[in-house]
Structure 1
Amino acid sequence: MQRWLNGYVTIVGRLSGAVGVVAMYLIFAMIGILLLDAITRNVIDIPLHWCIEAAQFTLAAYYFTGGAMTLRDDDHARMDLFYERLSVRGKAWLDLVTSACLIFYLVVLLIGAVSSTQYAIQTGETRFSMWNPSMIPIKVLMCCCIVLMLLQSVALIIKDLTILREPAAQ
């Protein structure tokens, strides 16, 4: 059983890392889009109406895809009023509690995201603008990334339970 759990943690960690690397490069795509917008609008006086919305979609994809890697690498924001003073086992207990809260939040978020994605697919939802892009791709990406964050949260719980199962230092 322990080998299976370690395998799960490893696979989810690698997937989170791969998706996180894609997220890192999305920043460069967004910079390119905004640079193109600035040049076409201010230098050659031909504004491209899709640039700002494309940059907004790229930013949304950036923070959706970066979430699981942030969890994996423990790079998220945390209030360290007393956390750093805890023992390794104390940190594991507190992390279990916060992971349970996170999973509850992500499940509720996923329910809303799936409902919103179903609505977008059924109605062919588009953004009300001159460019009028479909909302389906970003909503599907949102659902996939929330699922990945849920998987990474379970991996964190497995890591914390492993710490708690180890015999306490004498």
Structure 2
Amino acid sequence: MRRVMHGYIRAVDAVNYRIGRIAMYGIFVLMGILLWSSISKAFFLPSLWTLEMAQFVMVGYYILGGPYSLQLGSNVRMDLLYGEWSIRKKAWFDLFTVLMLIFYLCVLLYGAVSSTAYSLGYWGTEPFSYLGGVVIGTEEIGRMERASTSWRPYLWPIKGVMVIGFFLMLLQCTSELCKDILRIKGETI
């Protein structure tokens, strides 16, 4: 079992490390969009797409970088008591908090999947109505969701990024859970 946990930790950490390193460059994309927004407002007609595109890039940057941040341990902690605890006591506390985070991420992932299904034109009540290729509920295909602004972009791409980001964060949390279990058993990671 320990070998499986170590393999899972290595695989998830490697995927999130690479995606996180790529997502770091999203800040430069964001800066480019905001620079173009400033230039176009000062010298040309203002671009309609810059504000929303900057928001979309920021969402991708934040959500895809979250698992990488969690992996590095760069999330904010209250170090008043935690810093003085032993590694094993920290692992017990982290195990409890990561279980709460996993529950929260499952709720977020469910909502993100249903919202993405809605934005792709599925107007049913359950996004997971297909089980093994069998239709459980009724399906109604509508038109794809667009933003209500003057630019009117489709919303499914950013909602898809949110689904991927929440899923990667869930994988990283289970990796952290495995690390905590191994630390409690006295292993070094």
TM-score (norm 2): 0.85
Residue 144 (structure 2) pairs with residue 124 (structure 1): yes
SS, match of residue 85 in structure 1: coil
Which residue does 2:160 correspond to in 1? 140
Residue 136 (structure 2) pairs with residue 150 (structure 1): no
CA drift at 1:41: 1.2
Residue 184 (structure 2) pairs with residue 164 (structure 1): yes
Q: In 1, distance between residues paired with 2:98 and 2:21?
A: 23
Is the CA contact (8 Å cut-off) linking 1:102 and 1:153 kept in structure 2? Answer: yes
Alignment of 1:76-155 (within 5 A): 76-122=75-121, 123-155=143-175
Per-residue CA distance 1:84-131 (angstroms, 9 max, x = gap)? 111110000000000001001101111111111111111411111111
SS, match of residue 82 in structure 1: helix
Which residue does 1:18 correspond to in 2? 18
- Which one is further off, 87-96 or 15-24? 15-24
Per-residue CA distance 1:51-94 (angstroms, 9 max, x = gap)? 11111110111111111001101111111221111111000000
Is the CA contact (8 Å cut-off) linking 1:22 and 1:65 kept in structure 2? Answer: no
Per-residue CA distance 1:18-66 (angstroms, 9 max, x = gap)? 1111221000000001101111110x22211111111111011111111
CA drift at 1:137: 0.5
SS, match of residue 51 in structure 2: helix
Residue 41 of structure 2 aligns with an amino acid whose one-letter code is R
- Which one is further off, 17-26 or 135-144? 17-26
Which structure shows the bigger proportion of residues in helix conformation? 1
Q: In 1, distance between residues paired with 2:104 and 2:27?
A: 27
Is the CA contact (8 Å cut-off) linking 1:125 and 1:135 kept in structure 2? Answer: yes
Which residue does 2:61 correspond to in 1? 62
Residue 40 of structure 2 aligns with an amino acid whose one-letter code is T
Q: In 1, distance between residues paired with 2:68 and 2:75?
A: 10
Residue 59 of structure 1 aligns with an amino acid whose one-letter code is M
Percent identity (aligned): 42
Q: In 1, distance between residues paired with 2:144 and 2:44?
A: 33
Which residue does 1:9 correspond to in 2? 9
Which residue does 2:137 correspond to in 1? none
Is the CA contact (8 Å cut-off) linking 1:34 and 1:51 kept in structure 2? Answer: yes
Superposed CA RMSD: 1.1
Q: Which residues of structure 1 form unaligned runs of 5+?
A: none
